[in-house]
Amino acid sequence: MRWAGGPLLVLLWAYTSRATGLHIPFEVEQPPTIIDHTAGPIIALPLDNTLTVRCEARGNPPPEYRWVKDGQELNLPNIPTVKTDNRNGTFMFHNKHFAQFRGKYRCFAFNKLGTAMTEEIEIIVPTSPKFPKEVLDTIVVKEGEPITLNCNPPDGVAPRQLYWMTVDLQHIEQDERVSMGTNGNLYFSYALPKDSRKDYSCFAAFTKIRIIVHKTPMSVKVERLNPENNSSESDHSTLPVRAPSLLLPSGVQSTKVLLKGQDLQLECIPGGYPIPSVTWMKMGETLTDRIILDSFQKKLTIPAMDEKDQGTYMCTVENSAGKAVHYFYVTVEEPPAWLTEPPQSQLTVIGSEVRIECSVTGKPTPAITWRKNGEIFRDDRVNNRQVVDDTVMLHKAGPEDSGVYQCEASNQHGSVLANINVLVMDMAPLMLTKDYREYAVIEGGDIIMNCSVFSSPPSSISWTKEGTVIEGERFHVLENGQFLKIIGTEKGDSGIYGCTASNTEGMSSLTALLDVKDPTKIVAPPQDVQIISGTLAQLMCRTEYDRSLQDTFEVIWRKDGQEIVHSPEESSRHIREGDQLQIMNVNLSDQGMYTCIARTSLDEDNATAFLTVLDVPDAPMSLKISDQDSRKVTLSWTPGSDHNSTVTEFVVEYEESHWEPGRWKELQKVAGNQATAELFLHGDLNYQFRVYAVNAIGPGPPSEATERLKTPPAAPDRSPENIRIHGHLPHEMDISWDPLLPTEYNGPGLEYKVSYRKLEVEDKWQEHLVTRPSFIVRNTSTFAPYEIKIQSRNSLGWGPEPKPVTGYSGEDVPTAAPRNVAVEVINTTFLRVSWSPVLPATVRGHLGGYNIYWKRIRSFLSPDDVLEESDSMSFPGKRTHAIVPGFEPFSEYRLTVNVFNKKGKGPKSDPVTFNTPEGVPGTVPKLFASNIREDSVLLEWVPPPVTNGILTGYFLQYHRLNETSLEVIDSFELNITSPDATQVQLGGLVGGSPFRFDLSACTQAGCGPPQAQEYRTVVAAGVGRSEAGIATQRWFIGTLCAVALLTLVAVIVCFVTKNKGGKYAVKEKEDLFPDAESRGMNDDTYEYSDSDEKPLKGARDDTVWDSVSRDSLVDYAEEKGEFDEDGSFIGEYAGPRSRDSVSEPSEPSAVAE
């Protein structure tokens, strides 16, 4: 991948340098190049304090500067009001020196390799414009003759505006007869007497310098043709016809020369009467469609003239007396301009051919002047230097031909200048790109790596990767090797690249480092979302990116293309937290397209979502009422925006100014897809209406109110409703009803007609007119049915005929008591009471129900005690029996029944006396065991406080329980027939077993709920438990006594040993207890207590049994004080509290301490 050299190389390089321009790195010595200067001309305005003229160039070595003014070296004075810039050729001077610095300047920048120069810069210092002081004679003309008033305005800084005014600053009126030319003169096609005045003055305004000057006022006198007519207004019909003449321009022909691009303005201002018409034409051609005719066609304008617009133009002025013409010869010229572009600087090798072309255009043809380093450059064939018109040729150029060549083309319209740097040199490659430059690119993207080289002749450039020449269709070498482009980079493209440049003068190389990065991706883009206004919106944007680019990574949010600027202020509604954008208190302005942009210094990814804001609907608009002469009107409206939530309904509200002014009430609802409502209105009201819309978010604001609508009065539309009849007194009937609302009156004079009659008794209605919504009918029968109706009316008529309702007159207390009262005892506490109902006529009102009263007279358990326990219950409605709870067993009661209504209670029935049977007793309050032995226990209890009858005895059940599951193994029953018994001795129990005891008290009615307690029988010391039947054998009892004796001896020995500080181990008793059951204990060692009074601990730790036996044994100990000899020994082994335990699932356990 090397670039071929040879003779063609030099020519191609020279051509390329000229065609594309030359950029010489600043590290290489080079002549100056002008990079900035002030373009002329410069107008020094009086309002400017200072004037600055710039000139700046670059070069190596840095250039120096000199100025030439009007062809002479300029030496700037060393005074404070004239300042220079040491870094460049710029100078500045104060306005007091403006006149001194008037002239034409050139700036020259030079170093040892050449001199560059600027085009001519002219500084113009205008003088203040003034009209000359003149003494002007009065212009006297005959009526009908043309007049020309000359302005001759002074020159000044453009733009200049001209106009004619009087001395009191009134504009001279211009029309088809009177007009001003572009030269400032004022022309009258013919004179009239009214044109006579002494203060015609031409004004010139120079806006840029803020100056207005005016000419000495001129006097015009128009002499009348008919001296007898003194009117200021002349009769035009009396004027003689005058042939046309041209007031502007003069003569038959004139020449116009314009620069290309300027606007052409031609004027033909005629004189004559009648006013001549003006027509235009172009000789030999049709007029361009770009022409503009104004000032009554007196002025022709063609904007932006071009060569095709030049030619001969003719204007013709004509009236009934004749015509006149004028020819304009229009020529279009142009200042010098580059034909394509200015000539470019060149770099070439020694001995090559150099050709500099200065191709310009212009009219007239520009003259070309050549300079080298600011000095005139002429043809020198001896030294192989040739100048031919617009071309300079250097044959076999050498280093002495290097420098700055100037080409200046000029004609009378201007000039153009080009500085062309020509370097003739041989130079080894100079690397302009930094060595070991690092490049980064996203995988899949394109990358261009630089290897910029400056050399003469041009270098051959090659690229390698880690020592291997680069090949492949994805790799492209550009710009003769100065750039390596990799298309569609891959991870494997990362690495070290080398670039080598060489020419005939030497070789140079550099290294480039390429790193292919992972792309930035949005893996969880934001989703379209609908948010209710006023709530929180959250948009997610989760990203992935190359972690090596973390310092440049950022996430940017935009709304509708505008970036959302993150603000740390608390008032900001936009909060960015991690991958989320939160918008607080969303409003309608937040709706739009949101774009999440995740970007690094190398790439970016974006995703968009649309945020829809849901809000209440806008207020409806343009409310309109139709059919306004009727009480049935149509209201229509234009719905407002629904804010992305469909309107479900419209609510029509009204306000009337008579009864409740300012209060809006709902009148009607219509479906959300309608925009009209049929409204039925009340009469004699002054309405206005408004409408609001409702959607899923809520109700929106109301619309503007309509104009007031007055409805005509009418009879009431309805009669009162909700008629209520009460009888507070026996012979009265109170009637009340819901009155009509004031808005329902429909007119003045509202009142109500109350009509009533006895139901099915009277045919004639009794009628009364009232204004209040109530009426009392007096002297009625007690609780008699009536028909009642209420009708409304006003001064315009009656409301609709109402339907009658039925009601009753006042109630009184019932007069009769229920008969045949009977009591059926269901159980000890419940009764069934029955009776015969009273006659309806005796109720004298609406039947409320029945009351049952009872009184407990005595208890059969204490027949001599007198009781005063009373109670009652009410049973509403019509009935003949009731179930009554709450009675005490084994007692005597007295019971009565009466009826009641709203007025009160009737008399009670004859009393009925009855007895309740015995009931089962209550629970035995306390059950405990004492004197617990191996096979027996003494149960004691406290009699129940509530017996509900005569006690007949007690019923005892006791159950032997399983050691682990506590399930019942055996059950036993015992009837205790003595009602006075409070204890029982139970024998034949299995030693060391848990038991549950259930004791119930009994009467003839049965036994009450049991009291349950659980206890454990004890086991003799050293004796293991066997199956349940063994403990009942006599031989076993004898053996147990022997074992007890031996145990006592062991205890004495242990006690003696204990006092000596020793310990007795159960393991040593294996010789004393050789049976199999005792071997279960020899893995543990027990320590005896030093105190004989301290109870020993049990072997089983069972929560249930522990709580039961603990209570019972403690109680027993408290009551008995101490055990007898045998009992105390056994009791110690049966104690409830355990410190150590040994439990085997299939064998009994023994405890020793």
The more confidently predicted of residues 372 and 760 is 372
Q: Is 542 exposed, middle or buried (0-12, 13-18, 19+ CB in 10 A)?
A: middle
Q: Is 90 exceeded by the pLDDT of residue 187?
A: yes
End-to-end CA distance of the chain: 108
Identify whether the C-beta of residue 258 lies closer than 8 Å to the C-beta of residue 330: yes
Q: Encode pLDDT of 541-591 as tens digits.
A: 999 999 999 999 999 999 999 998 877 776 788 888 888 999 999 999 999
Q: Is 60 exceeded by the pLDDT of residue 741?
A: yes
- Identify the band that residue 613 occupies on the pLDDT scale cut at 50, 70 and 90: very high
- Identify the band that residue 439 occupies on the pLDDT scale cut at 50, 70 and 90: very high
CA distance linking residue 140 with residue 222, whole number of Å = 6
CA distance linking residue 459 with residue 451, whole number of Å = 11
**Mean residue pLDDT across the chain:** 85
Q: Is 70 exceeded by the pLDDT of residue 231?
A: no
pLDDT at residue 232, as a whole number: 54
Q: Is 50 exceeded by the pLDDT of residue 1113?
A: no
The more confidently predicted of residues 1042 and 339 is 339
pLDDT at residue 556, as a whole number: 92
Mean pLDDT (whole number) for 183-203: 95
Q: Encode pLDDT of 684-721 as tens digits.
A: 999 999 999 999 999 999 999 999 999 999 999 999 99
Q: Is 90 exceeded by the pLDDT of residue 639?
A: yes
Structure tokens at 187: 């022309």
Identify whether the C-beta of residue 654 lies closer than 8 Å to the C-beta of residue 671: no
pLDDT at residue 21, as a whole number: 58
Mean pLDDT (whole number) for 1018-1033: 49
Q: Is 70 exceeded by the pLDDT of residue 620?
A: yes
CA distance linking residue 195 with residue 232, whole number of Å = 10
Identify whether the C-beta of residue 205 lies closer than 8 Å to the C-beta of residue 161: yes
pLDDT at residue 1053, as a whole number: 63
Cis-peptide, bond into residue 159, ω within 30° of zero:
yes
The more confidently predicted of residues 384 and 282 is 282
526 three-class SS:
coil
Q: Is 70 exceeded by the pLDDT of residue 1126?
A: no
CA distance linking residue 450 with residue 459, whole number of Å = 15
Mean pLDDT (whole number) for 761-766: 88
pLDDT at residue 1077, as a whole number: 37
Q: Encode pLDDT of 393-417 as tens digits.
A: 999 999 999 999 999 999 999 999 9
Mean pLDDT (whole number) for 261-282: 95
- Identify the band that residue 24 occupies on the pLDDT scale cut at 50, 70 and 90: confident
CA distances to 148, 564, 594, 597, 770 from 561, rounded to whole Å, are 64, 9, 8, 11, 75
Q: Encode pLDDT of 162-173 as tens digits.
A: 999 998 899 999
pLDDT at residue 196, as a whole number: 95
Q: Is 376 exposed, middle or buried (0-12, 13-18, 19+ CB in 10 A)?
A: exposed
pLDDT at residue 1009, as a whole number: 95
pLDDT at residue 1061, as a whole number: 44
Q: Is 50 exceeded by the pLDDT of residue 897?
A: yes
- Of 381-385, 919-923, 1094-1098, 1107-1111, the range with the highest mean pLDDT is 919-923
Q: Is 70 exceeded by the pLDDT of residue 152?
A: yes
Q: Which residues pair with 850 in a beta bridge?
A: 875, 899
Q: Is 90 exceeded by the pLDDT of residue 777?
A: yes
- Identify the band that residue 1020 occupies on the pLDDT scale cut at 50, 70 and 90: low
Q: What single letter denotes the amino acid at residue 597? A: I
pLDDT at residue 4, as a whole number: 32
The more confidently predicted of residues 364 and 1045 is 364
Q: Encode pLDDT of 299-329 as tens digits.
A: 999 999 999 999 999 999 999 999 999 999 9
- Identify the band that residue 1124 occupies on the pLDDT scale cut at 50, 70 and 90: very low
What kind and span of H or E run contains 1040? helix 1034-1059
Q: Encode pLDDT of 835-881 as tens digits.
A: 999 999 899 989 999 999 999 999 998 888 888 889 999 999 999 99
pLDDT at residue 1104, as a whole number: 33
The more confidently predicted of residues 235 and 496 is 496
1104 φ/ψ angles, rounded to the nearest 5 degrees: -65, -50
Strands 103-111, 121-124: pairing is antiparallel
Percentage of the chain with pLDDT > 70?
86
Question: Which is nearest to 680 in space by CA: 633, 629, 640?
Answer: 633
Mean pLDDT (whole number) for 477-505: 94
Q: What single letter denotes the amino acid at residue 484? A: L
In this structure, how many other beta carbons lie within 10 angstroms of the beta carbon of residue 54? 17
pLDDT at residue 1057, as a whole number: 56
CA distance linking residue 683 with residue 746, whole number of Å = 4
Buried b (16+ CB within 10 A) or exposed e, 686-698: ebbbbbbbbbebe
Please give the full DSSP string across 762-782, using - where no structure is assigned: --SPEEEEESSSEEEEESPPT
The more confidently predicted of residues 1079 and 340 is 340
Q: Is 60 exceeded by the pLDDT of residue 832?
A: yes
pLDDT at residue 570, as a whole number: 66
pLDDT at residue 228, as a whole number: 66
Q: Is 80 exceeded by the pLDDT of residue 1040?
A: no
Structure tokens at 882: 């009731």
pLDDT at residue 1125, as a whole number: 34
pLDDT at residue 434, as a whole number: 93
Q: Is 90 exceeded by the pLDDT of residue 116?
A: yes
Mean pLDDT (whole number) for 823-837: 93
pLDDT at residue 1149, as a whole number: 34
In this structure, how many other beta carbons lie within 10 angstroms of the beta carbon of residue 169? 9
- Identify the band that residue 225 occupies on the pLDDT scale cut at 50, 70 and 90: confident
pLDDT at residue 1128, as a whole number: 32
Contacts with 1013 (C-beta within 8 Å, 6 or more apart), sequence order: 927, 928, 929, 996, 997, 1108, 1112
- Identify the band that residue 235 occupies on the pLDDT scale cut at 50, 70 and 90: low
pLDDT at residue 1083, as a whole number: 38
CA 307, 311, 317, 318 dihedral sign is negative
